[in-house]
A and B are shown apart, each in its own frame.
Chain A
């Protein structure tokens, strides 16, 4: 008997005392928790996202479509970035005003090469206001998971209010589990030393979130 059969057999014997429960999954779990916490206007939800992002030390900026290229250029310059990695499907206009070297991400590029790049600019899939979280799903405007991890400076553009949801349940509904997902709440942090929170261990030490509105 192989281990698969052995383990499944043990599970079935272990449950022999359990009375037959034909209740389907849908009835087994009472989902009387809230879909979102509190009633808010759309504008207030975006404000809450900004507050919670800032609370965990992300730097939050707001701008319109027309202002975005200037803002991105300014953020990269202020960080002293000489190079920026670009996901394959990033809207070309976003980096129009940037002075730094643009590095296209490619499967052939190695981790040490990526380590020499200063910044990365991406879009996102969804942002969660209640927790101050942005979620990346590997779409062309976000690129592979590694490009938002190895460079020390991440600029993430969130379209508001379209990409903003209130809560974790609403975010999961919008996401596709088949894609690789990265949930990001503030920059890399550790509390391992006397439970003092320190920003920046292995991931980007600076996370800048741009809340981009249409007009």
Chain B
């Protein structure tokens, strides 16, 4: 398993491989069904859920609508609280800033809180190239990192691994990175968690630099919020001398009071808990409590391009709860890796092609990685209409049109693979309006059906590569109807 998403095949190809893997499907089915049932119970406890969801949507929409103002306010508030703010237009710039800040401390290792933003920009790989080792400290991220694997879920990155696989990874890999797994480690979750505790504690206690993302940034106060369960986040946020937080510009909420909405909706939507075990909030630096130096890196990396899309910008409301993954029938069968992005599932299918553009094969295929059943919209705590954005992006892939890339207005060409489909549709339209030709064609098809290939030739190959061709019947329906008058003459 490669550690990178570069060169991923399009979703249908990757999904077909995943669907054939029975262990993977079993692990995913167990996990997604467990969490979706628990979530439904946790949400049902709050009889104002619909009002909280609407308020969350409105807070995020208002923020996005005035994002320039709130960005400047964040900068002022964090600076006033003793922090330093940096701006990064893209992944390379963010990685360069973080690497430089780490180098300035003279350290060559950092501990990390699980963070989608730093995965998105491939920060660990960029740091490694500069000789800086980044240790993931979330248990699931540790499993992924030790297994030289890729995350497959926003909240539970190792959801595709079962306990036996995790034990094997710990036994064979932990010694490479530090304290080895205990002798005779079994596959009980408690023992595995204990092994992770011992392995990581030595890293926490000596770490001088911590790196995190943030779930929320409050503009009026400059407060950052990290929501977690294990305590690894608290370790990274409070023990090191230097803290660097890389945060997407869409994570801002205007006021302190706004947290009352999201601290109710996020835990219940993500882990189905009334409240997650630990939430840390910090505003700049605080004397001898926690890091002496705090840096906030504000990350664009495609977010302003997404903001420029009238339909697609609602994806920026996402609070990364992952409820949409757990209810998605496509995700449940295909797994997170097939999406070829750190953001898998329904939200990934609309976020990745907007953040990265639809040029690559995988990004052009993602808007199609859905049955449009709408379950994702139903559970979304900020009411992102994912099916609406999927259809909008499909239109862009097929027809092209105006978009913004890297801050510049561009006109996208229709995606290549879809020219043949359009030609086929035009041919079908002609055939259906010429009944004689249709009848002749159908008869010809029936008589030659044993000679038909399993896949289409030429430009149709892409189409049939992701679909099973329907079998042609021995007799066209209209011939059968004429012969039997719909079976009324006793034909069986």
Contact = CB atoms under 8 A, between A and B. Distances in A.
Interface stretch (B5-13, B29-37, B336-344): B29-37
Interface residues of B, number: 99
Q: Is the interface of B mostly helix, strand, loop or mixed?
A: helix
B275 A202 contact: no
A62 interface: no
A14 B304 contact: yes
Interface in B181-210: 189-190, 192-194, 196-197, 200-201, 204-206
A138 B189 CA distance: 33
A200 B156 CA distance: 17
Nearest to B406: A10
Contacts of B286: 138, 179-180
Given A169-B260, A190-B193, A185 B156 contact: no
A28 B64 CA distance: 12
Task: Give the secondary structure class of A's interface.
Answer: loop
Nearest to A19: B65
A56 B230 CA distance: 13
A190 B159 CA distance: 13
Contact of A203 (B221, B234, B263, B307): B234
Interface string B248-271: 010000111111110110000001
A168 B52 CA distance: 12
B48 A37 contact: yes
A48 B308 CA distance: 47
Interface in A136-189: 138, 144-146, 149-150, 168-169, 172, 177-189
B31 A195 contact: yes
B274 A131 contact: yes
B288 A144 contact: yes
A182 B258 CA distance: 18
A130 B274 contact: yes
Given A7-B87, A10-B407, A192-B158, A198 B260 contact: no
A10 B140 CA distance: 36
A189 B163 contact: no
Contacts of B310: 17
A191 B280 CA distance: 19
B446 interface: no
26 contacts: A7-B87, A10-B300, A14-B305, A14-B307, A15-B68, A30-B58, A32-B55, A56-B277, A128-B275, A132-B275, A149-B234, A168-B260, A168-B264, A172-B259, A183-B275, A185-B277, A189-B229, A191-B156, A192-B139, A193-B139, A194-B30, A195-B31, A195-B156, A198-B189, A202-B204, A202-B231
Interface of B: 27, 30-31, 34-35, 45-48, 51-52, 54-55, 58-59, 61-62, 65, 67-68, 71-72, 81, 87-89, 93, 137-140, 143, 156, 158-159, 162-163, 166, 189-190, 192-194, 196-197, 200-201, 204-206, 218, 221, 223, 229-232, 234-235, 237-239, 249, 254-261, 263-264, 271, 273-283, 286, 288-290, 298, 300, 304-305, 307-308, 310, 313, 404, 407
